[in-house]
Amino acid sequence: MKIAVLMKRVPDTASVLKITPDNKSVDMANLKFVMSPYDEHAIEEALKIREAGKATEVIVFTVGPEGSQETIRTALAMGADRAVFVKEDPSRFNSKGIAEMLAAAVKTEGPELVFAGKQAVDDDASQVPERVAELLDLPHASIVTKFELNGRAATVEREIEGGSYTVEVPLPALFTMQKGINTPRYPTLPNIMKAKKKEIKEFSLADLGLDAAKLVSGLEVSGMSLPRANRLNKILDGDSTERVKKLLTILREEEKVL
């Protein structure tokens, strides 16, 4: 059984973003790029399944510009077996176009499971995996916090507002992963050494039988601005016991940091 993992290269969340002078896009020059953190969870989950002997191969799929190979190698160094790389600048397309490319690429491998992060941390659109599922006519479950394979189906817990919800999904199917499902591993030195020998299969749009003109975004960005920091300035009242209780409630239920 093959597992496909959809992976996106995004600017490092620690980097300081600048907007281009036309105010329409993020200035990509001099940025450090990393794998979108939710995708790390997707890869980790796939690797765990393979290590448990329930899958034969973990294949990473990405659409990205020249230079994305570096992020792909990180996925291979985490332990993925090989990669499929659609070399296209994703900023020229919207989620629909990217999903069409990924769906066409995934189809060439026919995996039983398709994993992805619940969203990419650059545009936060949460669109691509679900669209891929629709295009491939696969059932899907999003924001998964627990994944269990049982024969020809998967039982998963999905995070919903204030609770969780368990669904059983017949395979083949697509799942998007939430933080907390696992702790992604760091690439190990032996795997880094092996990564350069692993295959990265490159596809152009033509190879996938796609026409760029038909995929280009129907949306136009009219403007982009950096967020302004708004402080909440919440002041808690009551005696110290009450204030601690309120603070804990906020941290637990509103901020979900505990």
Partner 1 sequence: MTLNEDLLMLRDAARKFAEREIAPYAQAWDRDEYFPDEMIKKLGDQGFMGITVPEEYGGAGGNYMAFAIILEELARHDGGLCLAVEAHNGLCCGHILIGGNDDQKRKYLPALARGDQIGAWCLTEPNSGTDAAAMQTRAVQDGAHWVINGSKQFITNGERAGTYVVTARTGPGDRGAISAFIVERGTPGLSTGKREEKLGMRSSDTVVVKLEDVRVPAENMLGPEGRGFEDVKEVLKRGRVVISAMSVGFARGAVEEAVKYAHQRTAFGQPIFEFQAIQHKLADMMIQTEAARLMMYQSVSMLDRGLPTTREAAMTKVFASETATRVAMDAIQVLGGYGYLRDYNVERYMRDAKLIEIGEGTSEILRSLVAKTLRA
Strands 140-150, 9-11: pairing kind:
unpaired
> Do 154 and 171 contact (CB within 8 A), yes or no?
yes
Encoded one letter per residue, x for contact with partner 1 by CB under 8 A and - for no contact, window 51-80 reads -------------------x--xx--x---
> Do 117 and 176 contact (CB within 8 A), yes or no?
yes
Task: Choose between 164 and 188: whose C-beta lies nearer to partner 1.
Answer: 188
Cα separation values, 153 from 5, 6, 149, 221, 226, Å: 18, 20, 6, 41, 43
Task: Choose between 77 and 83: whose C-beta lies nearer to partner 1.
Answer: 77
Per CB under 8 A, does 139 bind partner 1?
no
d(CA 182, CA 255): 20
Task: Choose between 165 and 186: whose C-beta lies nearer to partner 1.
Answer: 186
> Of 193-222, which residues contact partner 1 (CB under 8 A)?
193, 195-196
> Of 175-194, which residues contact partner 1 (CB under 8 A)?
186-193
Task: Choose between 62 and 94: whose C-beta lies nearer to partner 1.
Answer: 62
Per CB under 8 A, does 119 bind partner 1?
no
The CB-of-77 to partner 1 minimum distance in angstroms stands at 6
> Which residues make up the interface to partner 1 (CB under 8 A)?
70, 73-74, 77, 186-193, 195-196
